[in-house]
Amino acid sequence: MTETNIPPVTDHSIKRLRRSRTDRKLTGVCAGIGEYFDVDPNIVRIAAVLGAFFTGGTLILAYLAAALLIPES
């Protein structure tokens, strides 16, 4: 048998998308996305507002769905 050098999976190595409880403006979705992708949450918020404007409000529905589906941290 050959031995593999695969490290064990721990809870600290798994990234989970969660809504933020501490850095929230409305529901914490943009802050949670920012934390997940290691991006400043303000950039995500600006992108969400611009995206809502350019998609005719469709992104607002996606934001509301994310607020319902993504659990809090």
- Asked if the structure places residue 63 within a domain, the reply is yes
Q: Name the pTM for this structure.
A: 0.78
- Asked if the structure places residue 7 within a domain, the reply is no
Band of pLDDT at residue 8, cut at 50, 70 and 90? low
- Asked if the structure places residue 54 within a domain, the reply is yes
> Per-residue pLDDT tens for 26-73?
999 999 999 999 999 999 999 999 999 999 999 999 999 999 999 998
Total domains, the chain: 1
- Asked if the structure places residue 62 within a domain, the reply is yes
Domain encompassing residue 37: 17-69
- Nearest CA to 70 among 28, 26, 14, 34? 28
Can you give the length of the chain in residues?
73
- Asked if the structure places residue 2 within a domain, the reply is no
- Asked if the structure places residue 5 within a domain, the reply is no
Residue 29: partners with Cβ closer than 8 Å, 6 or more residues away? 19, 63, 66, 67, 70
- Asked if the structure places residue 6 within a domain, the reply is no
- Asked if the structure places residue 8 within a domain, the reply is no
